[in-house]
Amino acid sequence: MFRFANPQYLWLLLAIPVLVVLFGLAAHGRSRRLARFGRPELLEELMPEVSTGRVTLKFILFCLAVALIVLAAARPQFGSKLREEKAQGIEMMLTVDVSNSMLAEDFQPNRLERTKYAIGKLFEGLKQDRVGLVVFAGEPKVQLPITSDYRMAKAFARKIDPSLVSIQGTAIGKALEQALLAFSSDTEQSHGRVIILITDGENHDDDALAVAERAAGMGVKIFTIGIGTPEGAPIQIGGEFIKDENGEMVVSKLNEEMLARIAEITGGAYVRSTTQSIGLDEIVKAINEMEQTELSTVRFEEFNEQYQYLLIAALVLLLAEFLLLDRRNPLLRHLNIFREK
């Protein structure tokens, strides 16, 4: 595995084209000033020791040295060893509703944005568990396979959006089925699997309770979070409120009964979100009391530094640039590789 330990320094490479432009402007200005004294052919005869090729080569050597120094500062590294880490934890599959009803604004700025914020905070507090992410509306989609890379998980959580699923609706049963399939084989024989379902509970067209029964048989607990209010709120998209075929404004209401039943079937728990807390903290506390399973993760144990080779090459180029004279040496005329024929 290759990486730069300090990739921010690579931005300094943008200085190279700036130096090239400045060098070109300086050379052009010098040529114009010399042209005032006579024809270039005549000036070359009067100044035989002047060599524009040497100046150009010195500049090229300098730019190459600067580029190598910048790359060295970025610290290129190669991963040299793999290490398998074992820890006690669980696999947690977050299943998030991204249907249009999650855009209702009974939570500010809306239900979905509050959910994304809470998931990000959850990932910040995890240490040894694995997480995955399924988003769903009329169809489910695995947004993030099971991983222990929490930084990547946070990045994927920020991208949760209704546009990820093209078919609208709220197919909770299909989403739970997809979450069950997304677990790794490592925890297949253990009880270290949980699903956290975050939705307003407005289920359409499938039997979520039957899937919950199957999950219970597999030893998977489902914790459900109801986000929204029983009174509901209208759904606004693009500044316009959604209306039904009769022209009435659509109001999305929280369906707590089904969410509580899903959690009960699997031995999980149901939490209703409030404006102060989505409910993930309460669920994580309950999960931490569950039976943990042994999880193994392969990691790069150490990286070999490669910057020293770049520094050596840069020093060689700078030394060559320093030793190369701007003008021709009459004593070494017979060795002058820049002499024009």
pLDDT, tens digit, for every residue of 294-338? 555 555 556 778 889 999 999 999 999 888 876 655 544 555 544
CA of 313: how far to CAs of 60, 310, 320, in Å?
14, 5, 11
Tens digit of each residue's pLDDT (9 = 90 or more) over 5-31: 899 999 999 999 999 999 888 887 777
Asked if the model's pLDDT at residue 75 lies above 50, the reply is yes
CB under 8 Å to 318, separation ≥6 — which residues?
61, 62, 65
- pLDDT of 335 reads 52
pLDDT classification of 128: cutoffs 50, 70, 90: confident
Q: What is the mean pLDDT of the chain?
A: 82
* Residue 3 in this model has a pLDDT that exceeds 50: yes
Dihedral sign for Cα atoms in the order 11, 17, 20, 25 = negative
Please report, as a single letter, which amino acid is at residue 292.
Answer: Q
Q: Which two three-digit tokens encode residue 309?
A: 């080779």
Residue 241 has pLDDT above 80, yes or no: no
CA–chain centroid gap for 176, Å, is 26
Amino acid 15 reads: A
Q: Is the pTM of this model over 0.75?
A: no
Q: What is the pLDDT of residue 168?
A: 83
As a whole number of Å, the CA-based R_g of the chain is 33
**CA distance linking residue 190 with residue 187, whole number of Å:** 5
pLDDT of residue 134 exceeding 60 = yes
Token look-up 């991208």 returns 159
Cβ(103)–Cβ(62) under 8 Å? no
What six digits make up the tokens of 336?
Answer: 């002058």
Which of the pair, 167 or 242, is modelled with greater confidence?
A: 167
Residue 325, amino acid? L
φ and ψ at 278, to 5 degrees?
Answer: -65, -35
Name the DSSP letter for residue 292.
P
What pLDDT is recorded for position 341? 46
If pLDDT is split at 50, 70 and 90, which confidence band does 73 have? very high
| Predicted confidence (pLDDT) at residue 62 exceeds the cutoff of 50 | yes
